A and B are shown apart, each in its own frame.
Chain A
Amino acid sequence: MSGFLEGLRCSECIDWGEKRNTIASIAAGVLWWISWWIIIDAAVIYPTMEEFNHSYHATIAFLMINAVSNGQVRGDSYSEGCLGQTGARIWLFIGFMLAFGSLIASMWILFGGYVAKEKAVVYPGIAVFFQNAFIFFGGLVFKFGRTEDLWQ
């Protein structure tokens, strides 16, 4: 019983050989695009700004996190890029900060702006929260679900 969690270390067990990157890309794509369609849905149903605040920071966070490959942060790649390894780390740091910030802000908007004020329509708040959550997890899957060994 004491060792039963040892078999669950998922960084090794999700290696279905060559398909891993494909599956990770597709899963991340599904999460990301569903999040956008949730927002389009909320924007279509509630077009005015006071019911629904149209803001898109999570997308930028996703783009930033995934613009930098893991290899550049570790310093393995041959070309330094224009900012070098430290620049890559700072970029990734800012990207993750934006991602976490967007997630927390969306929870804040949901609970502070919609639930606590007991607004009549809660759905825009829920939509914003789910959009951010999906983009966050989609970004994580896209970044950490793929291995760069398959790129050699």
Chain B
Amino acid sequence: LSFTALVLLSFSGAIGLTFLMLGCALEDYGVYWPLFVLIFHAISPIPHFIAKRATYDSDATSSACRELAYFFTTGIVVSAFGFPVILARVAVIKWGACGLVLAGNAVIFLTIQGFFLVFGRGDDFSWEQW
């Protein structure tokens, strides 16, 4: 089952990246600034991992550290959506490109969330592998 999930997640990730690239590379558009949202995608899991590592030993259901991590993760997600909108408002990119980039964002973030749901469950998630 997890093999199927992996294949499906990689497919949706590819679709998301395709939307993003279409938003940049189509002949009508041709502007590559929206690729900067990839930075937001890459750093979005980081607060979660930092909080998980910091509160590894505690049994509490929640903690200030975890909640701060959720706060920052939300910020990164909102920023990834806000950045193309601002680019479109100053006419650096066209609104059509903005729409494609936003769609790509949504799919990629759903993929990342899917990764966490499917593969994040293990209790023997040991950090020595890093």
| Residue ranges of A at the interface with B (Cβ–Cβ < 8 Å) | 18, 21-22, 24-26, 28-30, 32-34, 37, 40-41, 44-45, 69, 142, 146, 150-152
Contacts and interface: CB of A to CB of B under 8 A. Distances in A.
Interface residues of B, number: 21
A29 B62 contact: no
Given A25-B71, A33-B74, A142-B71, A18 B82 contact: no
B86 interface: yes
Contacts of B67: 21-22, 24-25, 146
A150 B71 contact: no
Interface of B: 60-64, 66-68, 70-75, 78-79, 82, 85-86, 89-90
B73 A45 contact: no
B15 to A, nearest CB: 25
Contacts, number: 64
Contact of B60 (A25, A33, A69, A151): A151
13 contacts: A21-B62, A21-B66, A22-B67, A25-B68, A26-B71, A29-B73, A33-B78, A37-B78, A37-B79, A37-B82, A41-B85, A44-B90, A150-B60
Contacts of A152: 60
B65 to A, nearest CB: 10
B77 to A, nearest CB: 8
Contacts of A28: 71
